[in-house]
Homo-oligomer: A and B are copies of this chain.
Amino acid sequence: MKSNQTVKDVGEQGLLKKLQPFCPRNIVGDDGAIVSVNSQEQLVITTDVLVDGVHFSDRTTPPETVGWRAAAANLSDLAAMGATPIGITVGLSLPGKLTVTWVERLYQGLTDCLQRYQTPIVGGDICRSPIITISITAFGTVASHRIIRRSSAQPGDAIVITGTHGKSYGGLQLLLNPELSKNLALSEQNPLIEAHQRPKPRLDVLPLLWDIVGRTSVAGMDSSDGLADAVVQICQMSGVGAKLERSQISFPSSLLKWMSPEEALYSTLYGGEDFELVLCFPLNLAEELVKKLGNGAVVIGTITEEEKIILVDSQKQNSPQELTLTKGFQHF
């Protein structure tokens, strides 16, 4: 008798597995779903649900920040698939006692982020609920030959990150523990807090990739759940491994004011929410992209045939470490 199993018993991954039979296999699994609109163009759709007390709280996130981050996370999912946004819908469940100002500030944050990327709010629904729940669906289009998937990384591909990781996690720590800021100049604090509160989806990378995707296929995803998570997901979905060069994985030096170098590396790999892209394609083209992007974009390693992810430090002759995905954030 398994019929009394609860959602908590099976966890998020377990529940997703049980619901898989209800969804077509071929269109689920990446950051967003892909649906054909016509032969040249694909529609990419992604959905996120945010719940008060689970995904945000008044301590670290004023309503403008909740809005900005919700918009950014969805646009980042589109960027991760190579898609240009065309609009989002917003479904809100709100307690009657919530102030109108709170809702207006939420929408202000949403539109502040969306306007940077010329993306309109095209619809939505509002209803009553005891708890604030924000459900966003974003959709965009991508030319069929420009789709970025997790599953197409090839042995020999370079692994590129589009910017520095560890900033958002550093910012979150400063917001949760204000005493940490004492040893930091404002010029050290602000970039971290900005990275956490107003992350930028890397839609700006797409036009630079269009030249590349004409010459080779690009695999990848975003690093919203962490850099390590992205590398592991890409390797698992592509049936390959990776060799990462530790000295190439940099983090903001300000982290070292309250962390050991090992802790800072861990935060950089597992902290999450940096919303950079992790992309895999041939080295000569990767170096071109890195040069054009600047600002922390770098080749951090190579895709390998053996299905194992190792972290080597070629400068220090340490023995290589194996990178495993620690249990991801379980939502139940």
Binding site for B on A (CB under 8 A): 2-10, 12, 14-16, 18-19, 22-24, 27-28, 32-33, 35, 37-38, 41, 43, 45-51, 54-55, 86-87, 89-101, 103-104, 107-108, 110-111, 120-131, 133, 135, 137, 139, 141, 331-332
Q: Which of B37, B99, B133 meets A141, CB within 8 Å?
A: B37
Write the chain B residue with the least CB distance to A47.
Answer: B89
Q: How many copies of this kind of chain does the complex include? A: 2
Closest residue of chain B to A22, judged by CB?
B107
Decide if B19 touches A103 in the complex (CB within 8 Å).
yes
CB-CB under 8 A from A35, the residues of chain B are 86-87, 122
Q: Find out whether the CB atom of B15 lies under 8 angstroms from the CB atom of A124.
A: no
Q: Which residue of B lies closest to A122 (CB)?
A: B33
List of B residues within 8 angstroms of A7 by Cβ: 94-100, 103
Given the complex of chains A and B, what is the CA–CA distance between A3 and B99 in angstroms? 8
| Structural contact, B99 and A6, CB atoms closer than 8 A | yes
A222, B279: Cα distance in complex, Å: 45
CB pair B126 A129 closer than 8 Å? no
User: Can you name the residue of chain B whose Cβ is closest to the Cβ of A89?
Assistant: B47
Query: Binding site of A, secondary structure by majority: helix, strand, loop or mixed?
Result: mixed
Contact of A96 among B2, B8, B124, B127 (CB under 8 A): B8
Report chain B residues within 8 Å CB of A12.
126-127
Q: Which residues of B contact A33 (CB under 8 A)?
A: 87, 89, 122-123
CB distance from A99 to the nearest CB of B (A): 6
The reply to whether A22 and B130 form a contact with Cβ atoms under 8 Å apart is: no
Cβ-closest chain B residue relative to A114? B22
Q: How far is the CA of A43 from the CA of B86 in the complex (A)?
A: 10
Q: Determine whether the beta carbon of A131 is less than 8 Å from that of B128.
A: no
A301 to B218, CA, bound (A): 59
- Given that A91-B137, A93-B133, A122-B23 are contacting pairs, would A51 and B5 also be in contact in the complex, using a CB cutoff of 8 Å? no
A299 CB, nearest partner CB in chain B, Å: 31
